[in-house]
Amino acid sequence: MSNVRPEFEKREMACSASPYVYLPVDIPVYTVEVSHREMIDGDLLQKALDRTIRRMPYLADTLVIDHGAVYYAKDPLPMEAAHTAGIRRVGGSETNYHMLDLTWDGNVTWFSMFHGFCDGQGIYTFLESVLYHYYCMKDGVEYDPNGIRTDSTLPTEAETVDPYARQYEVSPDFTMPQRREQPAPYHLPEIVRNGSREVLEYGFRLPSEAFMKFVKANGTSPSVMLSMLVGEAIRRLHPDADAPVMTLIPVSIRRQLGCEETFKNCSSRVLLPVSGTPMDALPFDQRAAQLRAMLKQQMAPDMFRATYNVLGPMYRKRMDEATDYREELSKPAGFMTFIHDTFYLDYIGSMHKTGYSEQITDVRFLCKPAAGNTLHLNVIEHNGEFRVTCLAVSDVSAIAEALEQAMKDHGLPVRCVPVRRFTLPISAWREGVQ
């Protein structure tokens, strides 16, 4: 571990990092906690990490500042699978300035990242490769990787494409829809601004087969259905809500932009009015289908390509013209002013199914609620269950109870897990940065 920040070899400009690195606030570490059936073998875990980094050396990069602009940079210091009971401050001397980190204790591993370095799909790429190599060595079996990047394949340039650095073609007849003034969404009175870093976690489990049968019967998708159920719970709890209940759903747009392989930030958002609109008069299944159609409409490739054609040059210009990094941090950040209310639902999907999947007993996504001032749901499907987690820095037990009841009223066999709490360290990537 180095106590003095070295001079790192600068590489390409980190355009897709711009919305995060120029925030005038500190960003907590984003962590995926993975529980295993057996105790972790630390030596094998380090070997698995080494194999992953040899295959994807860009995951060992760091970030540097040069005249106010942010760049990826080669970090030759070793990456360590550290034996410690918890999560480390990513990006500083404790992790040899790496933006990704791996720690372990007992039967638990923690994969952490600085969100300016990569996004959720990027951390997935990292953890799935490490776990694949670990279980192959531990079990003495060459498992089918089923889409996981392994050291039996070679890296490609496409894996490090920066979505903001490209110019995208849109259909000749495409016209960006006119932006209409939207009513302010309903804000949950339970969500109170406070300086607490402790996050409360309310968990639910839904059998995949039963939930997907319900989703398909209503002609919709998992993220839309879960958003509707949360909206229903909120309306039951607050029948006098004087504004639409909105869900904001982050989405990976790699396919729309032709950047399927990149580990870098490549995401956008979809906004759905799940309650408090004229659609409430429709039968449940018709409303579910209409909301899915709204989601698909917002997912149109031309929409995102046109948006990135505007955002890309804007972020590059901001970096090119930035001469004082600290001055940039003091400026208002539009990324932070985006309204996240009423709630934020991150549908993470599933890990790749492999021959060792059942040896992984639990997966938790630990993050500070979006913008620190909203109700935040993480959803992952794993080993035959949808794991739905409500996160907040305020007491939202009443909302969690209403959500459980909404699921039961629709005949879903929901199971609750005990309320948990966690606190995340602040990313340390600015440590030593001038």
Q: What is the DSSP string of 173-193?
A: T--PPPP---PPPPPPTT---
* Amino acid letter for position 102: L
Answer yes or no: do 289 and 392 share one domain.
yes
- Decide if 346 contacts 376 (C-beta within 8 A): yes
Residue 386 lies in a domain: yes
Q: What is the model's pLDDT at position 411? A: 97
Answer yes or no: do 206 and 299 share one domain.
yes
- Domain boundary residue, one of 117, 149, 181: 149
Residue 299 lies in a domain: yes
* Residue 403's CATH number: 3.30.559.30
Point out which residues pair with 202 in neighbouring strands: 390
Distance CA 300, CA 295 (A): 9
Answer yes or no: do 135 and 226 share one domain.
no
Answer yes or no: do 106 and 207 share one domain.
no
Answer yes or no: do 299 and 395 share one domain.
yes
Answer yes or no: do 133 and 212 share one domain.
no
- Domain boundary residue, one of 115, 149, 183: 149
Distance CA 92, CA 95 (A): 6
Q: What is the model's pLDDT at position 93? A: 93
Q: What is the mean pLDDT of each run of 10 residues along the chain (434 residues)?
A: 77 89 87 97 98 97 89 95 94 95 98 94 95 98 95 94 92 85 86 86 97 97 97 96 93 94 93 94 96 94 92 84 78 59 90 94 92 87 95 95 97 96 93 68
Residue 182 lies in a domain: no
Answer yes or no: do 131 and 215 share one domain.
no
Answer yes or no: do 222 and 95 share one domain.
no
**CB neighbour list of residue 383: distance below 8 Å, 6 or more residues apart:** 357, 358, 360, 361
How many structural domains does the chain have?
A: 2
Answer yes or no: do 360 and 247 share one domain.
yes
- Domain boundary residue, one of 122, 149, 176: 149
- Decide if 65 contacts 94 (C-beta within 8 A): no
Residue 176 lies in a domain: no
Q: What is the model's pLDDT at position 1? A: 47
Answer yes or no: do 374 and 247 share one domain.
yes
Answer yes or no: do 274 and 402 share one domain.
yes
Residue 177 lies in a domain: no
Residue 428 lies in a domain: no
Helix H segments across 145-262? Answer: 208-217, 222-237, 254-257
Residue 42 lies in a domain: yes
| Residue 360, domain extent | 198-422
* Residue 78's CATH number: 3.30.559.10
Residue 80 lies in a domain: yes
Point out which residues pair with 65 in neighbouring strands: 70
Answer yes or no: do 222 and 334 share one domain.
yes
